[in-house]
A and B are shown apart, each in its own frame.
Chain A
Amino acid sequence: MEAFLHQLFSGLATGGIYAALALALVMIYQSTHHINFAQGEMAMFSTYLAWTFIDAGVPYWIAFVATVGVSFVLGVIIERVVVRPVEHAPVLSVVIVFIALLVILNSVAGWIYSYTIKTFPSPFEWEAVRNPYLAPHEIGTVGVTVVVLLLLYAFFRYTSLGLAMRAAAQNPVSSRLAGIRVGWMLALGWGLAAAIGAIAGMMIAPVVYLDPNMMSGIMLYAFAAALLGGIDNPIGAVIGGFVVGVVENLAGAYVVGTELKLTVALVLIIGVLLFKPSGLFGRRYVTRV
């Protein structure tokens, strides 16, 4: 029972990371109708930035905040420079641009930092909370992701800028007619997605270690989470993230074994696409004509 609870709780901890990344995917999807295949590599790159700061002796939480800020700006720049020019291009061209971005970020990280695996510190080394169910880093991760998700919720729900971003994603023409600068809202969306990715990367890096390919497996789970929750539903994606985290961990421990855990993500993705393409919480469009 203790072992089971341990698997369940640590599933929630990684699930929080999948939830955050899935949310970043959904945010971009809602405003562009494209899946950002480079999301994981953006997060990886941000994590290297954090490592650089920490390696230079910057205290962890200052490095954390700086990384989030720099990642936000980089996300905005990526939207303006890379994504904007292909705004009206065919889907395939956009996918190729995203893949190119993925490959470039991956190689640049490898070139700067080499492909050797690095360790990444956890800020949660509290001996006081040691217990059989959850490691301190897992508790910290859950805390950080929950705070991030609540902040995002409050931002989109209660601020004027959040409302403008939701409006712009939903109906660009009506938004322009209300005076909203839609282009900037998209860029802000990319900035936020990059910032969320940065946090997810810094939280997972102590577990999977830092290397240019660290996010490939994790992104697979995040895609599964986003699809499971409904690719256009932010709350669904978050729930999907936690579900995928728990299922992954339990299946890894009791069903398929850790070596085959990644197949769980693939099975989920294929299962959702086959049987419920709009996801569990996919939007039923309620519109009267």
Chain B
Amino acid sequence: MGTLLEVKDLHAGYGPTDVLRGVGFAVTEGGITTILGANGAGKTTLLRAVCGLVRRRGYVHFAGEAIESRVTEDIVRLGLAHVPDGRGTFTMLSTEENLRVGAITRRDRKAVEQDMARMYGYFPRLAERRAQQAGTLSGGEQQMLAIARALMLRPKLLVLDEPSFGLAPLVVQDIFRIMRTVNREEKVSILLVEQNARLALELADTAYLLETGQVALSGAAADLRNDETVRAAYLGY
């Protein structure tokens, strides 16, 4: 299996200070990689650096192209969809318009309509709220909308920043089930940052542990699940 996203010696940050200091990781084609770490470790910064939302320097290759000096809009057009921290809802647009924005770079109109129907199939709650202003949706619905909006790009890689944050357990289960489906059936690779380490390690094949801007530990997700330090610090047993 090839490598879809490869990152080496990545430095990134805000203003003059670097938050990331030489991070490396990879996502295989069709794979699911998760990045774990405490609050403030630099996970969000890492995802932003990959898609060019913050100042960065290093080696970032996606789908065979060097993207470390590309602008966000171009990276997205290569097939990288980012579900940002805080969901990034277009609050004044309707649910349906939010989905259309997700597909705005696509020209295959028919397929867009089909994908729209597919998203409503994945998330029936969104279908009920089709015409509703997206800012009035509940937190869980907005998270579903953010994921659906990202999938409307028909991405090669789906990047998610703490999709379970602040959601009820049942909604979280739903969202993880759909991530698995999308990965298996549509061959979308996934890069997942998660606070719920147990769920993330169950879903992922590869995992990285980020500590103060550096990779402290990495390996197969199954191995990390059994690692003493990970257990003690992130799994709580």
Contact = CB atoms under 8 A, between A and B. Distances in A.
B48 to A, nearest CB: 10
Interface stretch (A126-134, A208-216, A280-288): A280-288
Contact of A288 (B51, B139, B153): B139
A286 B77 contact: no
A176 B72 CA distance: 6
A78 to B, nearest CB: 23
A286 B136 contact: yes
Given A160-B104, A180-B104, A288 B76 contact: no
Interface residues of B, number: 30
Interface string B169-189: 000000000000000000000
Interface string B70-101: 00110011000110100011111100010011
Contacts of B209: none
Interface string B101-120: 11011000000000000000
B225 interface: no
A174 B142 CA distance: 13
B125 to A, nearest CB: 14
B88 A179 contact: no
In the complex, which range does the number of interface residues on chain A fall in? 20 to 34
A171 B104 contact: no
A26 to B, nearest CB: 13
Contacts of B124: none
A39 B20 CA distance: 45
A177 B81 CA distance: 7
Given A287-B135, A288-B138, A177 B93 contact: no
Interface of B: 51, 53, 72-73, 76-77, 81-82, 84, 88-93, 97, 100-102, 104-105, 133, 135-139, 142, 149, 153
16 contacts: A163-B104, A166-B97, A170-B91, A170-B92, A171-B90, A176-B53, A176-B72, A176-B76, A177-B81, A177-B82, A178-B102, A178-B153, A179-B104, A179-B153, A285-B91, A286-B136
